[in-house]
Amino acid sequence: MLPILIKNEFSRLRSVLFGTSQSIGPIPLAEDCYDPTSLHHILSGTYPAEVDMNNEMSAVLEIFKKYEIQVFRPSVIKNYNQIFARDIAFVVENKLIISNILPERDKEINALESLFKLISKENRFTLPEDCHVEGGDVIVSGNYIFIGVYSGHDYSNYITARTNLKAAKEIQKLFPKKIVKTFELRKSNTNPLENALHLDCCFQPLGLGKALIHSNSFLNQVDYKWLIDFFGRENVFDATNEEMSQMNCNIFSISENVVISEQNFSRLNLWLVSHGFTVEEVPYSEISKQGGLLRCSTLPLIRD
């Protein structure tokens, strides 16, 4: 059995599920898009090619190899997008929660069957069907579980609304000793600059007491202020609208002071180095054209 354990976002990574861009299939039709970033690149003729995405994911695999991290991959489904593993499931403490994702993506769950068999049945959970949740909206931070939600009456109008309050309440039941804190996220089906697809698109705690945050992604500015007070202004990188849409908040921690980041995030990477981080830079800009980056394509299973 695999002894899964996740208590935060940045303890030393030992085991991870990493998505795949093998056999990703043809460019989707505009009407089949799940997010505004993909839609923008389809309409602009700049949607990424499979060969480029394979090269980018290979660069991340080299970093995992360098740090001796055990890597699992999904079973490859022909002509199917399986890059964003974080959407499919997430680990909190020693529990794996399988997401209630968009029905169009159910095959991605089946592609993880070999991994799920390595995790004890009593540690695997699926929430009730009306509890919508994806792993990008769930961030573990010590005694807190931060969850991005959208609770507007027009929830069903937004394909970008992936997690609801019912899911947050069920997760609280699973972890009664933790504090579940929800954040209302800004949603748009068409404008990448006005859409926080998941919480990890606009917020991420790092090691060394630091955090990455984008203020406009929070519908209630009191939530943004709460995070600033929680981490301390001096410890926060404030992303611009453009940086948020490029996924600057969606880097990935290998350990408390080592992160993987996109090589073109020049302002962020300089900030990270100046605050004591080792930054492993990789090309990932093609994958970002689908509205996700490094945290989205990784599902940590074991951290020290």
The CATH code of the domain that includes 213 is 3.75.10.10
* Distance from C-alpha of 130 to C-alpha of 160, rounded to nearest angstrom: 16
Residue span of the structural domain in which 232 resides: 13-303
- Residue 26 lies inside a defined structural domain of this protein: yes
Residue 38 pLDDT level (bands cut at 50, 70, 90): very high
Burial of residue 29 (CB within 10 Å: 0-12, 13-18, 19+) is exposed
Looking at residue 96, its pLDDT comes to 98
* Distance from C-alpha of 107 to C-alpha of 111, rounded to nearest angstrom: 6
Q: How many domains does the chain have?
A: 1
- Residue 3 lies inside a defined structural domain of this protein: no
- Residue 154 lies inside a defined structural domain of this protein: yes
Amino acid code (one letter) for 90: F
- Residue 293 lies inside a defined structural domain of this protein: yes
* Distance from C-alpha of 159 to C-alpha of 105, rounded to nearest angstrom: 13
- Residue 5 lies inside a defined structural domain of this protein: no
Which pTM was predicted? 0.96
Residue 101 pLDDT level (bands cut at 50, 70, 90): confident
Amino acid code (one letter) for 14: R
Residue 45 pLDDT level (bands cut at 50, 70, 90): very high
> Cβ distance 190 to 166 under 8 Å?
no
Cα 152–chain centre separation: 22
Looking at residue 71, its pLDDT comes to 98
Looking at residue 134, its pLDDT comes to 95
Residue 40 pLDDT level (bands cut at 50, 70, 90): very high
Nearest to 83 by CA among 66, 60, 63, 67: 60
Looking at residue 262, its pLDDT comes to 98
Q: Please compute, for residue 153, the number of CA atoms within 13 A of its CA located in the half-sphere on the CB side.
A: 0
Residue 100 pLDDT level (bands cut at 50, 70, 90): confident
What would the mean pLDDT of 259-282 be, rounded to a whole number? Answer: 98
Paired tokens of 11: 């303890």
Beta partners for residue 149, in sequence order: 184
Higher confidence at residue 69 or residue 101?
A: 69
For residue 74, pLDDT beyond 90 = yes
> Cβ distance 198 to 146 under 8 Å?
no
